[in-house]
Structure 1
Amino acid sequence: MRGTNHEDTRRFNLAAVFETVRKSGSISRVEIASRTGLRNQTITNITRELIESGLLIEAGKIKGKRGQPQTILEVNNPNACSIGIQIDKGIMTARLVDIQLNTLASYRGEMMSLEPAYIVDEIAKVINQLSTRITETQTFWGTGVAVATLINNEAPDDLLSPGWGIWKNFNLIAELSKQISTPIYLENDATAAAIGSRFSGLGNMLNNFAYLYIGNGIGAGLIVNGQPYKGAWNNAGEIGRIQWPNKGEIEYLEKLLSLSGLSRVLECPESELLMADFIEQQITLSSPQFTGWLDEAALRLKFIVNILENMLEPESIIIGSTLPNALLHKLLEHAEPLPTSICALTNRQHPRVMIAPQSNNIIATGAAAIPMYATCNPKLINLFNSTHSTPPLLA
């Protein structure tokens, strides 16, 4: 795909070449041309521009197929960075990362309120604090902010996550732009996690997958043909808001299948559920409350898997959470056998469901990847709620 004019073509080709190098680690110009379909002279011009901008480096030579030495290109890690921020229930997590999502600096702190003006001030403080760690030689691509609620201000009140009702009709991007001049990108937490996985997690080897994130609620970040699927109003994947019949009443799937749902059943603080030792103890004791939650949560998980597989036909569904992996594996064990679907094939390359490594930084990492994703894929920048219409690298 090429742009509609010379400048659009340049921007698209820059991003295509850069992303090819980033994903490959080390690669020659000849191989870049082969993978992108661009002409050799175009590759020469683009790589020269990326080297001059400090984003790529020449990292030695290797013998080519015909014995001729070929120069190897690599991403110049220290020279590109971004910030990712996760806003969740009472906690703000942030990371300053390089192009390979290695952490350069981090922040984690309590939030006293979800009041919008307070959150804006706190986000601005954290961005300014982490920005002091950016050197003069580094290129800053912006900040991704992931929130645990719907982005569309016109959504019905009962669909908003608990405590987030005061955010309705509040334009976070517009308010942040009054304090921060660098690019800001807004995303929901599950989609941010999917983008992060696509960049550097299990999703890196997949072009079509769903990232099912279990937190205080549950949502699905969707990657279709290598691109995030956002829906008509940017809220696709809110699978936790599907209604579920329970003892004659209707409730949302995420009321039980979530961190808060398990906390209610076990009558314990949510913070304890994040501790591996506590979860191992619950698995060993297998109390009626815990096993009852596993059985009921597994039914909901089977239902979700069946919907995602038959609607999207993904290569795999990745489950990620701040909850310990032992709990996720136990939950998946209780969900077996998975329901029959169009994805129940014998010649699969990847399992139908995979468990991502536990991390408190899943969402913040994904949010940090969004400025990079938009920069590497300029045709997709309008998918994101952003203060800028053109990535800084390609301006």
Structure 2
Amino acid sequence: MIQGRGKPSPRLAVNPAGAYGFGVSVDTNSVETVWVDLVGNILSQSRIDVVPNDPEAVVAAAWETSVAQRDALGVDPARVAGCGVSIQGFRVSRENRFTTPVPLDNWTGVSIEERFVEVFGCPTYAENNATLGAIAELWSGAGKTYPTFAYLSFNYGFGGGLVLEGRPYYGFNRNAAELTSSFPMEQRKDRPALQHLLEGLREHGVDVPSIEALKSDFDPDWPGIREWVEKVSPALNQVVRNLQAILDPAAIVYGGEAPPALRQMLMDATSHRHPDRFGQEIPAPDLVQSRIPAEPSAVGAGIQAIRRRVLNQI
């Protein structure tokens, strides 16, 4: 008969070098890339000097960048799970062909995965940028604390991503959380899309030519900033109330390309739920800001390649 304590249980840990993913984020003003390892660590990140609305140039430049960074990192090509591609827009069918914003018109209808596979020679997974931002949060951010959360992506447009009980939720047509479609056409200028913020700043005489400049030079005291936040807060609060009523998430994450100070202003403009008829507060999700230290959609794209290829997760 065995008595007393036995040997300590062996400790297991994931080997970060077990697999790698390369992520490409095609934004309206820039193309960002990252390499991530099996646990989601960001190994390298860069901005490619290429016109985002030129698909062939983007694919070629992304391939050259991936090889140069892979060799510099000493990544074994046999351990590369694949490539993930982030694109702004929504699917027009269950296939991975997207209708993109105007600045990315040349990507509309492109078979993104097929074109990348032809050049990269490895599995490629294309996905909406907001959903990939949510996947980055799932692995490396809010997902460590909140099993169910909604992700708000403030980009040229305005979109979202959903994580339910630790898994991304895409929807039947893979357009879940396509938030802009919830607004009538005549109300869409009042949603929190950064394209309209840039227009408003120009009207106030502030020269911010691109979202990249907005991110790098942002000043909350610019004329027009507070007016814009006030203007879009009703639409933002409508979305938040809808997410609370339908999803009841543990948290709502404010992310995307908006600079952190602007995200905080939008969080501060978000109203809490009204008390019930007895005056009791109704539980509401935590409002948290994304802390992913690189372009979140690019990080999510790299992680997605690992999730799909190595872990066989949809």
AA at the equivalent of 2:162: L
* Equivalent position of 1:178 in the other structure: 118
* Equivalent position of 1:356 in the other structure: 290
What's the CA shift for 1:191? Answer: 0.5
Report the RMSD for the aligned CA atoms in angstroms: 3.0
1:119–1:136 CA distance, 2 compared to 1 (3 A): closer
Equivalent residue for 2:14, pick from 75, 99, 105: 75
What's the CA shift for 1:240? Answer: 2.2
* Equivalent position of 2:108 in the other structure: 168
Gaps of 5+ in 1: 1-64, 382-395
Equivalent residue for 1:275, pick from 194, 216, 226: 216
1:114–1:172 CA distance, 2 compared to 1 (3 A): same
* Equivalent position of 1:20 in the other structure: none
Task: Give, in whole Å, the separation in 2 of the partners of 1:81 and 1:134.
Answer: 11
TM-score of the superposed pair, with normalisation by structure 2: 0.84
What's the CA shift for 1:220? Answer: 0.7
1:194-247 deviation digits (Å, cap 9, x = unpaired): 1110001012222221111111111111112222111222222110233247xx
1:303–1:279 CA distance, 2 compared to 1 (3 A): same
1:291–1:127 CA distance, 2 compared to 1 (3 A): same
1:75-109 deviation digits (Å, cap 9, x = unpaired): 22233211111111131111112222222222212
* Equivalent position of 1:373 in the other structure: 307
- In percent, how many aligned pairs have the same letter? 23
AA at the equivalent of 1:307: N
Higher relative contact order (CA 8 A, sep 6+): 2
Q: Is the 8 A contact 2:254 2:287 kept in 1?
A: yes
After TM superposition, list the pairs within 5 Å mapping 1:204-353 onto structure 2: 204-244=144-184, 250-252=186-188, 256-267=191-202, 268-269=207-208, 270=210, 271-275=212-216, 278-282=218-222, 287=223, 289-338=224-273, 351-353=285-287
Q: Which secondary structure does the structure 2 equivalent of 1:222 belong to?
A: strand
Task: Give, in whole Å, the separation in 1 of the partners of 2:94 and 2:10.
Answer: 53
AA at the equivalent of 1:274: K
Report how many residues are paired: 300
AA at the equivalent of 1:145: V
1:213–1:66 CA distance, 2 compared to 1 (3 A): farther
Gaps of 5+ in 2: none
Q: Which secondary structure does the structure 2 equivalent of 1:210 belong to?
A: strand
Which of the pair has more CA radius of gyration?
1
Q: Which secondary structure does the structure 2 equivalent of 1:108 belong to?
A: strand
1:338–1:214 CA distance, 2 compared to 1 (3 A): farther
Q: Which secondary structure does the structure 2 equivalent of 1:129 belong to?
A: helix
Are positions 1:199 and 2:139 aligned together? yes
1:275-333 deviation digits (Å, cap 9, x = unpaired): 36x42433xxxx4x332211111111101101111121211111113323222222222
Q: Which secondary structure does the structure 1 equivalent of 2:113 belong to?
A: helix
1:162-200 deviation digits (Å, cap 9, x = unpaired): 233333332111122212221211111000011110001
1:368–1:154 CA distance, 2 compared to 1 (3 A): closer
Are positions 1:101 and 2:35 aligned together? no
Task: Give, in whole Å, the separation in 1 of the partners of 2:274 and 2:153.
Answer: 20
Task: Give, in whole Å, the separation in 1 of the partners of 2:5 and 2:194.
Answer: 57
Task: Give, in whole Å, the separation in 2 of the partners of 1:200 and 1:358.
Answer: 7
* Equivalent position of 1:117 in the other structure: 56
